[in-house]
């Protein structure tokens, strides 16, 4: 982890867009487009969303975001580490950073959606205290969606 740096960036940051493009390509190998729930980076409603890029030796290798749902809850979005850089603690570092930012902003809960075909993600979330919840929001009608939550305080 010595060579990993986490940086908060804006939605239009080229490194964020580059790693999100890799995320989308990765997901399209597993799911049809109708089952991929992105985040419109150009939508001004997302101006309270916090974006993080993880760099390994100055190369963008991962990302994540927290988007407010209401005054108490944020949603983890666009969480990804390039497969070539996995198993180095980068995902845990991004997750911990975003949880700490949510706490600092007085959010009590983080929710997320993942897919049943992403066992590594499910394992990571469960390892860090996330537990299954009913599907919510845009995920209610998606058969492959799994939703999780974690109480921060």
Quote the pLDDT of residue 10: 94
- Structural domain including 80 reads 4-151
For the chain, what is the mean pLDDT? 93
Q: What's the total number of domains in the chain?
A: 1
Quote the pLDDT of residue 35: 77
Quote the pLDDT of residue 22: 95
Q: Are 10 and 48 in contact (CB under 8 A)?
A: no
For the chain, counts of helices (H) and of strands (E) = 3, 7
Whether the pTM exceeds 0.75: the reply is: yes
> Tens digits of per-residue pLDDT, 84-133?
999 999 999 999 999 999 999 999 999 999 999 999 999 999 999 999 99
Provide the CATH number for the domain around residue 46.
Answer: 3.40.630.30
Mean pLDDT score, 52-76 = 97
């Amino acid at each position: 982890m010595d060579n990993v740096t986490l940086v908060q960036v804006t939605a239009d940051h080229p490194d964020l867009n580059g790693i999100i493009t890799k995320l989308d390509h990765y997901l399209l190998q597993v799911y049809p487009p109708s089952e991929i729930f992105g985040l419109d980076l150009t939508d001004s409603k997302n101006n309270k969303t916090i974006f993080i890029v993880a760099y390994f030796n100055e190369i963008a290798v991962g990302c994540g975001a927290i988007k407010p749902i209401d005054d108490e809850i944020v949603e983890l979005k666009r969480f990804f580490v390039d497969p070539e850089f996995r198993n180095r603690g980068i995902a845990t570092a991004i997750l911990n950073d975003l949880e700490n930012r949510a706490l600092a902003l007085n959010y009590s809960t983080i929710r997320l959606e993942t897919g049943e075909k992403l066992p590594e993600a499910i394992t990571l979330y469960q390892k860090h205290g996330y537990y299954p919840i009913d599907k919510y929001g845009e995920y209610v009608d998606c058969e492959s969606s799994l939703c999780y939550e974690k109480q921060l305080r």
